[in-house]
Structure formats: C-alpha cells, structure tokens
Structure 1
Amino acid sequence: MLYEKLMMDSGMLTKFMLFKRITKINQSDVSITQLSDELSLNYQQTSIIVTEINNDLTKIISTHPSILHRAGKVDSTKLLVTIDEYRYFLLKKSVPFQYILYFLNHDSPNIEDFCQRYYVSRSTVSRKMLPIKKHVKQFNLRFTYTEANLIGDERSVRVALFDALWLGTRGTIWPFKSVALEDAQKLAGAFSEYFPLSRTYLGAKELTYFAAIFLCRTRKKMFVSYDTRYDFLMKDNPYYDFERLNNELGPVHSLDPEQSKGESSFIFFLAHYAPFYTIDDDPSLFQTLHDFSVRPNPVYELVQEFLTYAKANIFKKEPEILDKPIIIGNLINIMFTFYVLGKPFPNLQILVETPHQKRKADQFLELKLYQFFDEKAQEKEYKFIYTIKKPLVHSVKSILLPSYDKPKHSEHLKVGVAFEHNFTLVRMIYQFLNDLGFVDSSPYQEELNDSYDLVISSSLLPRKKYPELPLYFWDLSYGNKDLTDLYKTLQQLFEKKNIIQD
C-alpha cells in the first residue's frame, strides 16, 4: 500500500492527490472541471478542496500568491510549495504520523498523554491507526498504547520507523526533537564507510535519519541483540570494527559489552539489508563481494547457484549481464537479509511503487524465479526460503528487471510502413523503428490489415478505405523532433499488448 494511504484519512488523501495533480499539470489555466473529472469528484467538492489548498499554501508561506482564477480556473505555475512540503504540512495533522513522532520524541509516552496533547479520543486513534497497524503486522510488528511504542524484532522496528519518517519528510525538516542533528550526523559519519548511501546526496541524509532513530531507541533502553547468523560475516573479521561504537558514543553514553556488540552488529547488518549498490566502483561493494566469497556460508552458495541457473534459464542470450558486480552484490544483500531474518521485512519500495498490471516479460521472469526457489526450499540448508518465498522472489525480480531485456521476452509490435517508394524518404523511420527493439516493421500490405498493431503512413488513403485501421499519419516534412510523439504512441501500444489481462 502506498505510504500516503497508510498515513492519511480519506479527506486528507483526496486533498493531497488533488495538490499532486495540480503540481504535475503545471499550467496557468487548469479548469476545476478537468480536475474533478480526473479524480472522479463532483465540481463542488473539487472547488471546495482547491480553495482549502489555496488557504493551506498561505499557512506554509505567508506571502504565497493565490492559485485561484475566476471562471473556475487554477494557475499551477504559481505554486511555490513542493509536494514534499505539502505532504509534511498535512501529515502534521495525521494521527499515525503524530503518534510515531510522539513515542519517539517523548519520555514515558502513553495513550492518555497523547490524546490530551493532540485533542483526540482514544477511539479515533484506534480507528485512524488501522491501515498502518495492518501494514506492520505483516512484519510481525505491532503498536502498543499503554506504553506508546512499536514492538517486535527491533531491527524491523527501526527500519519501519525510518520508512515512516523519511517518506513523510524527505529530509525537508528534522523531526527528531529528542536527538540533535549534530549528534546524528556525527554518528552517521563514524560509520559512513560501511554504507553506500553515504556517497550520494539523499543517501547521506537517509543515513542521518537512521542514526537518529538508533539514538532515540538506545536512549530509551531499547536494544538490538546479536544474531549468531551474522557469525560467518562478522566474527573475527577486522573490517567490522566492534570497538568503534563505544568510542564514538563516549564514556557517558557508552553501552555495556553485550549491548555494544548487538548494536554494532545491527549497524553492520543495516549496511546489507537492502540492495544499496548503485555505483560500480563502490569500495563497500567490493568488500561485500570479498567477505562473502572467502568465508563459507549458505548465502554466497545460494547466490552462485542462482546465477548459474539464471544464466542457463533466464539470460541465455546475455549471461554476461549476471557477472556485473552490482548485480551480484545486490543479490547477496537480499539473500543475506532474508537468511538472517527468515521473514518479510519493511522496505521503501512497497510504500512508493504504484501497483501496476503484470506484463508478459514480468510473468516469464517471475515464473523462472519461482521454479528455482521452489526447488531450493526443499533442501535442508535453504529451508528458510519456504516461509519468505513470495517477498524473496519479488526482491530478486526487482534487481534483475532493469537488466532484463524485455523486448526479447515480449510480444513485439507489428508495424506496416506505407511511404512513397524512395529509400531517402523511409530510411529515418525504418532506422528509428529498428533501434527501438520492440517493433517488427515492414512495407504495408493490405492483406495483412488484421495483423497490424499500427500502420505509419504518409497518406490518409489507407484510413479512407479501411476506417478501422490503426493508422499514424507521418507527413513527409516531419523530422527528428517529431519522433517523440511517435515513440510515445508505440510505447503505449507495446505496453498494452504485453499487459496480462486478468
């Protein structure tokens, strides 16, 4: 489920979606009628909500110009408030978001105190928390109220809290009242070498949020225990410095040996819990490849067995793709996390990706992945796969899909070209179509009308004779700049042809 649907009630969500749509259109004369049709609202509802948004903008920026015009028009080019800023403005009144911030930032948090602070009843809290309660339940986490908290495997708790706060603010503000920004930055900096995130602009900010949540939880005496499944990676491995944390925290805030070991191991685990690698020459990527390959362990063995299988059954024509360090490193991270936790765990991807219809290429890839993991789940050393097969397949698919040549495993478009019989006139179109990789083009033939997905013609004569023919008119005076619209048309047809109908 998308993040906003978890955090916002229906009225707040409608307002946010309308604001998001206004921002995306970016025109000076957007009609309220158009907006109401697109969001399936009536005109009066839309007009009221747009007026509320206009008033909200002046609460965020006192000098914000009005986006309202007469005659039921909206000027979205006057927007000075970003989507992230408006989302956070709304979330400050969201009970789930308020509740998470409350128990992170206050000592001895409880439901009675929360209700008094935010002028809300306990029944309202319970009702508005239902979507996010259902969401975290899939990770064996639950919210408590007598003592306000989120409980379960503390590792999953912290990742879930990060997801909730990062997606609500996107780094635009500092939501941690109980932790100074400087303290979080200092802790993040001390361990930055372990995290690929630290080498990108937003990644560095994300890492600071993780550090703040670490400090919030440990200061409240909520600790992570050491997991023996880390042993093959971290035990007697000088790369993982278990003395660094207490050295960084200092004598006043230092942890006892057991706590320090558990918390340090979590930091190192966190560096592997997601497919973080995006840069080819990342030092932490090569460290991962080295550490997992030189120490006997089921994770690296499983990855190697999978790569052998995928080269033979999925990437037959391009097996070298699977030799890329980024692919291998990200597969190791995914397998390691599922091996350690043995259950689904929170991740940003499922909160930001809009569900889409499955395509034929996706189906083929997914089928091959299930075939591999179904077989492996029967083996004793990989029995952990059985309970997490679905999220594991989804995660592995997300790594392979960008490198997976969809056109080779999808149904191509059949396109007829009806141009004057002159090479110099048609060569640009044929070259363009051939370069796309998902189009089979040939000279137009009337007897093949029923098989064409599209006919590109410099004349409208075929349409006059065959009104139902899918025809795209291409004037001979058109040039390279006009190919953009043709590409959009072909891409839409290709997607439609390869969507699996339920």
Structure 2
Amino acid sequence: MLYEELMMDSGVLTKFELFKRITQINQPDISITQLSEEKSLNYQQTFIILNEINNDLLKIMKTHPSILKKAGKIDSTKLLVTIDEYRYFLLKKSVPFQFILYFLNHEEPSIDDFCQRYFVSRSTVSRKMLPLKKHVKQFNLRFGYTEANLIGDERAVRVALFNALWLGTRGTAWPFESVAFEDAERLAGAYAEYFPLSRTYLGAKELTYFAAIFLCRTRKKFFVPYDSRYDFLMMDNPYYDFERLNKELGAEQTLSPEQSKGESSFIFFLAHYAPFYTLDDDPSLFQTLHDFSTRPNLVYDIVSEFLDYAKRNIFKNEPEALDNSIIIGNLLNVMFAFYALRQPFPNLEKLVEAPKTRSKADQFLETNIHLFFEEKSQEKGSKFIYTIKKPLVNAFKNILLPIYDKPKHAEHLKVGVAFEHNFLLVSKIYQFLNDLGFVDAAPYKEELNDEYDLVISSSLLPRKKTPDLPLYFWDLSYKEEELADLYRVLQQLFEQKNIVED
C-alpha cells in the first residue's frame, strides 16, 4: 500500500491525488471536465475540491495566486507550492501522522491527552489508524494507546518511524520538536563514514532524520539491546568504533556501557540493513566486502552459494554480471538484515512504488531464487530462512532485476516494416528499432500478418486489406521528436507481451 493511502483518509487522499495530477499536467488552461473524467468524479465534486485546494494554497502561502480561471479551467503554471509541501500540509491534519509526531515529541504521551489536544474521539483515532495498524502488524509492531507508542523490536520501530516521517516531509520540514536540528546533524556527521547515504544530497538529509529518531527514542529511555548475531561482523573489529557514541552524546546524555554497546551496534546495523550501495568506489562498500569475506559467517556463505547457483541457473549466458561489487555488497546487506532480524521489516520502497504487473523477467527470477532458498531453508543451520523466505526472495529479486537483461531474456516484439524500397529511407528506422534491443524488425510480408505485434508503414494500404492489422502509420517526412512517440508505443506493447497472466 502506498504511503498516502496509509496516512490519509479517502477525502484527503482524493484532494492530494488531484493536486498531484495538476502539477504533472502543468498547463495554463486545464479543463475541470477533463480532470473530473480522469479521476472518475462528477464536475461539481471536482470543482469543490479544486476550491478547497485553492484555499489551502493561501493558508500555506498568503500571497499565493489563485489557480482557478473562468470557463471551467484552472492554471497549474501558477502553482508555487510543491507537492512535498502540500503533502506535509495535509498530513499535519491527518490523525495517523499527528499521532506519530505526538508520541515521538511529547513526554508521557497517552491516548486521552492526544484526543484532548487534537479534538478527536478514541473511536475516531482507532478507525483512522486502522490501515497503518494493519501495515505495521506485518513487522510484528503494534500501536500502544495507554502509553501512546509504537511497540515491538526497537530496530523495526525506528525504521518504521523514519519511513513515516521522511516520506511525509521529504526533508522540507523538521518535524522533531524535542530534538534540535544541530544535535541530529552533529550525530549524523560523526557516523557519516559508515553510511553510503552520507555521500548523496538527499541521503545526507535522510541520515539526519535517522539521528533525530535515535535521539528522540534514547531520551525517552527506549533502547536497542545488543544482538549476538552481530558478533561475527562487529566483535574485535577496529572498523566499528564502540567508544564513539558517548563521546558524541556528551556528559549529559551519557549511556551505560550496556546501552552504549546496544545503541552503537544499532547504528552499525543501520549501515547494512538496506541495499544502500550505488557507487563502486564507495569506501564503505570495500569495507563490507572485506569484512564479510574474511570473517567466517553464514551470511557470506549463503550469498556465495546463491551467486554460484545464479551463475549456473539464472545468468548462465552472462555470469560475469554477478561479479559486480555493488550487487554483491547489496546482497550481503539484505541477507545480513534478514539473518539478524529473522522477520519481515519496514521497507521504504514498498511505500512509494505503485503495484506493477508482473513481467516474465520478474517471474523467472522469482521462481529460480525461490527454488534456491526453498532448498536452503531445509538445511540445519539455515532453517530460519523458512519464515522469511517470501520477503527475502523478493529483496534478492529486486537487486538482480536491474542487471537482468530483460530484452535478451524476454519475448521480443515482431515488427514488420512497410516502407518504400530505398536504403536511405529505411536504414534510420531499422537502426532505431534494432538499438532498442527488444524488437525484431524485418520487411513486411502479408503472409505473416497473424504473427506481427506491430506493422510500421508509410502507407495505409496494408490496413485496407486487413482492417484489424496493428498498424502504426509513419510519415516519411517525420521529425526526430516523433521517434519518442513510436518508442512509447513499442515499449507498451513489449510490456504487455511480457506480462504474466495470474
């Protein structure tokens, strides 16, 4: 489920989606009728919602110009408020988001105090929290109300809180009333070397949010205990500095030796809990590859076995693709997180990516990765895999999918080209089609009509003879930008041809 669907009720969600749509169109004369048809609303509903949006914009920015025009039109080029700013504006009035901010920022939070502050009833809170409650339950987390809180494995709690607050603000606001930005920034900077995030623009901001949540929770005396499953990686490893945390926190916030060990280990765990590596010259990637490969551990053994298996069964025509250090590092991170937690854990990607139809490439990877982990889960030392097999398979698939050559392994489009017989006229279109990698193009033949996914023709004669022929008319005096339209058609046909029918 997408983030906004968890946090917004249906009316607010409709308003947000309409705002998102008009920002995408970005035109001075968008028809309200067109918008109402797109969103399956009647004209009056759409007009009322657009008026509400117009009023909201004035609340966010007092000098904001009206986006409403006469004759049933709106002008989205006048928008000065970004989609991130508008999302945050709406979320601040959303019960689930308010509740998270409340128990994170207030001392001794309770449901009664929350209801009093925000003028809502307990039944309203319970009803509006339902989608979010269902979402966190899959990570063995639950919301407590006597003492308002999110309860469960503190590691999963903090990642879930990060996802909720980061996706709600995207760095445009500082939602932590109880933590000064400078304190979080200083703590994040002290550990930046461990995190690939610190080397990118938004990643550095994400790291500051993680630091703020760390400070919020530890100041409220919610601590992460040390996990002995970290031993192989962190014990007697000078790379992981367990003395640093108390030095950074200072005398007023000094933790006990046990608390410091647990919280330090959590910071180091965070550096590995997701497939963070994107740059092949990242020092933290080199360190990960070195540590996992030189210290005896089950994580490295499983990933190594998987890579050998994948080279034989998945990437047999291009096994060298799996020698990529970024791929190996990300598989190690994912496997380490599942090895340590042994349960599904909050996932940022699932909250921002709309569900997609499964392609044959997806199915092929998923099937083969599942076979490996199904067999692995039967082994004595790897039985823990059985309970986390589905999310583990999905995580491995998502890492491999970008390097799995879809055009090479998928079913290509069969395209007939019906142009005048002249090299200068046909050579450019053939070059364009062949460069796509997923099109098999050849001169058009009538006897193959039933086999074509598309016929590209400079004449409509083939359609006169065969009216249902999938024909794309191509004017020989085309402009270069028209190639983009042709590409979109071909890409859609390719995706449709390779969708797996459930």
Q: TM-score range by the shorter chain?
A: over 0.9
Aligned residue identity for 1:215: L
1:329 maps to which residue? Answer: 329
Matches within 5 A, 1:40-439: 40-439=40-439
Offset of residue 366 of structure 1: 0.7
Offset of residue 496 of structure 1: 1.1
Going from structure 1 to structure 2, the CA distance change for 1:270 and 1:21 (only over 3 Å counts) comes to: same
Aligned residue identity for 2:132: I
Name the CA distance, whole Å, in 1 between partners of 2:208 and 2:26. 33
Task: Render the CA deviation track for 1:11-44: whole Å, top value 9, x for unaligned.
Answer: 0000001100111111111111111111111111
Task: Render the CA deviation track for 1:61-111: whole Å, top value 9, x for unaligned.
Answer: 111111111111111111111110000000000000000000010000001
Task: Render the CA deviation track for 1:400-428: whole Å, top value 9, x for unaligned.
Answer: 01111011221111100001111121111
Name the CA distance, whole Å, in 2 between partners of 1:283 and 1:353. 29
Name the CA distance, whole Å, in 1 between partners of 2:88 and 2:34. 26
Name the CA distance, whole Å, in 1 between partners of 2:45 and 2:476. 48
Name the CA distance, whole Å, in 2 between partners of 1:175 and 1:301. 42
Aligned residue identity for 2:313: N
1:33 maps to which residue? Answer: 33
Name the CA distance, whole Å, in 2 between partners of 1:180 and 1:251. 17
Count the aligned residue pairs. 502
Gaps of 5+ in 2: none
Name the CA distance, whole Å, in 2 between partners of 1:428 and 1:313. 37
Describe the SS at the equivalent of 1:203: helix
Name the CA distance, whole Å, in 1 between partners of 2:484 and 2:114. 54
Aligned residue identity for 2:142: R
Offset of residue 274 of structure 1: 0.3
2:476 maps to which residue? Answer: 476
Offset of residue 479 of structure 1: 4.3
Task: Render the CA deviation track for 1:285-309: whole Å, top value 9, x for unaligned.
Answer: 0000000000000000000000001
TM-score scaled by length of structure 2: 0.99
Aligned residue identity for 1:390: K
Task: Render the CA deviation track for 1:456-489: whole Å, top value 9, x for unaligned.
Answer: 1111111122211111111122243321111111
Name the CA distance, whole Å, in 2 between partners of 1:384 and 1:35. 50
Task: Render the CA deviation track for 1:315-359: whole Å, top value 9, x for unaligned.
Answer: 111111110110000000000000000000001011011001111
Describe the SS at the equivalent of 1:456: strand
TM-score scaled by length of structure 1: 0.99
Name the CA distance, whole Å, in 2 between partners of 1:6 and 1:416. 47
Name the CA distance, whole Å, in 1 between partners of 2:394 and 2:76. 38
RMSD: 0.8
Gaps of 5+ in 1: none
Name the CA distance, whole Å, in 2 between partners of 1:137 and 1:384. 20
Aligned residue identity for 2:473: F
Matches within 5 A, 1:447-458: 447-458=447-458
Task: Render the CA deviation track for 1:149-196: whole Å, top value 9, x for unaligned.
Answer: 001000000000000000000000000000000000000000000000
Describe the SS at the equivalent of 1:440: strand
**Identity over the aligned pairs, expressed in percent?**
79
Aligned residue identity for 1:73: K
Describe the SS at the equivalent of 1:469: coil
After superposing on structure 2, the runs of 4+ consecutive aligned residues of structure 1 that deviate more than 4 Å are none
Aligned residue identity for 2:445: Q
Describe the SS at the equivalent of 2:250: helix
Name the CA distance, whole Å, in 2 between partners of 1:74 and 1:374. 55
Name the CA distance, whole Å, in 2 between partners of 1:382 and 1:37. 53
Aligned residue identity for 1:100: I
Name the CA distance, whole Å, in 1 between partners of 2:368 and 2:450. 33
1:12 maps to which residue? Answer: 12
Describe the SS at the equivalent of 2:300: helix
Describe the SS at the equivalent of 1:480: coil
Name the CA distance, whole Å, in 1 between partners of 2:170 and 2:136. 21
Aligned residue identity for 1:455: V
